[in-house]
Amino acid sequence: MPMQERFLVDVDLSTVPLFRTRCLVIGSGIAGLSAALAAAAKGSVILACKSELGESNTTYAQGGIAAALADDDTVDLHIEDTLRSGCGLCDAEAVRLMAVEGRERCGELIAMGVDFDRVDGRISFTREGAHSRRRILHADGDATGRAISRTLIGATGHNPNIHVLENHFAIDLLHGDGVCRGALFLDTRYGRYIRVEAVFTVVASGGLGQVFRETTNPAVATADGYAMCFRAGARMRDMEYIQFHPTTLYLAGAPRFLISEAARGEGALLINQAGERFMQRYSDEGELSPRDVVSQSIFRELAASGDTCVYLDLRHLDPELVARRFPTIMSVCAEYGINILEAPIPVRPAAHYMMGGVATDVNAATGVENLYAAGEAAFTGVHGANRLASNSLLEGLVFGHRAGLAEPADRGAFAPGRLRKRLPAHGAKLDIDDISRSLKSLAWRNLGAFRDEPSLVETIETLKAWSRYVLAEEFHMRPGFEIQNMLTVARLMTEAALLRTESRGAHQRTDYPETSPAWARHSSLAISDME
């Protein structure tokens, strides 16, 4: 079988230990865990993750999961809110599937033991920006993702058909002739390769926040799934659409800790250094505007004032409500000397969520046979140009489950030949930490909330120059593979941002400030476009 030389390593597969399974799932967030549990009903599953099972964006999700379960809510209202936030780029069929099936999937979470917060025995719903109803289910106040992750991990641990590989970094998909047959992994504990061959593979490897200097994402979010699928021939869609969360803790020495949008849903206010509310100057919906509007408004406010942050004020709220709903936020802020009942929280936006990704259909199938993608790594079309708050966990839950239900034809084993790099190694000695810091700064400066052609062109040329060196031998451990993936995906994001000559949702071009009817469509890039 002919081999496509689109890999990060040069290795003889016949020397690499082999595992076989019906379904391979890469990633242990809500999408990956849901896919594994669904697939396990029909056969063997290997669930692989680059760190520990619980280390994912899902675990750090605070606000909750959106579903039309409240008495005054309907699926149609949820759909309407999602489409409105998406600024004309949502796929209506995918949105309807998510809203309809999301109710059932959330019901299954409850049956599995996720203890969503309740008042007088009834589920307590909160509201977030751009939602017309209180429809956000939350758990442990502001630790919803952790509660869901804990329950799903427990379920996988009790399923005899699921075998878990922790600390296994997915280097590349095994692919050829337009078919995916598994993946090559680096066991980071022992520094050895293993290969997993599967009838079908689900990439649910999460996001790319680590491309940016300022991000809410954990260290594992290094764009690996996007890059692997791209090298395997999958098409990427809307990669210019990165969502910046409006409110992350901004203190010297503190991590960019996310301050949940649910705080504004419960009545928290945004104020500037002078103590004045400012959102009404930018949007009639004020603090409950869509995320792109709030983030861009904060950046404009900071540009006008010269300040480094604004503040989120909870001091006027009921202290009992704040303590019950936001115990994690309260505790983290207290570690840095802020009593949120008495002082406002210094905040500013940070890179948070990729709304584009690997193009899939409503069954999570990509254009590569037997390759599926779900969660943040995938583009399903449900988010459009601006994700509605708390739809991300729902999307991962629904389409991860759909991916796990796949019944593709078995195309046989991968030829045990040699994987070859596409380009020869460069002999230069490079510093991975230096490249990482430089990439993050470049992306934050030129791929942030506001873009323009000169900055985007500069970014592409810089990324091209750096990428000439990334195949050096010192890059052949996890940090090096991650850098190569982030460089690849940063290039995809920049090319897509340069293509979209308009401003829409989270993509704002200062040189094209208007929304163009001609761009009421998706951007699309494949490896053949990047030669």
3-class SS at 427?
coil
Catalytic residue among 291, 325, 451, 491: 291
18 is written with which tokens? Answer: 């082999």
CB 150 within 8 A of CB 12: no
CB 486 within 8 A of CB 219: no
Burial of 306 (0-12, 13-18, 19+ CB in 10 A): exposed
CB 205 within 8 A of CB 225: yes
Question: Could you tell me where the beta strands, DSSP code E, fall in 105-167?
Answer: 118-119, 122-123, 125-126, 136-137, 162-165
Largest CA distance in the chain: 67
Residue 80 has a CB neighbour count (10 Å cut-off) of 14
247 is written with which tokens? Answer: 């409110």
Give φ, ψ of 12 to 5 degrees: -85, 110
Which residue in this structure is represented by tokens 């500069």? 458
Give the integer Cα–Cα distance in Å for 123 and 117: 6
Active site residue 181: no
Give the integer Cα–Cα distance in Å for 21 and 24: 7
Closest CA to 249 of 185, 326, 162, 176: 326
Question: 3-state secondary structure string, 244-303?
Answer: EEEEEECCCCCCCCECCCHHHHCCCEEECCCCCECHHHCCCCHHHCCHHHHHHHHHHHHH
Encode 194-211: b = buried (16+ Cβ within 10 Å), e = exposed.
bbbbbbbbbbbbbbbbbb
- DSSP calls for 301-351: HHHHH--S-EEEE-TTS-HHHHHHH-HHHHHHHHHTT--TTTSPEEEEEEE
Contacts of 457-462 with CB under 8 Å at 24 or more apart are 457/498, 459/490, 459/494, 460/491, 460/494, 460/495, 460/498
**Would you name the residues annotated as active-site residues?**
291
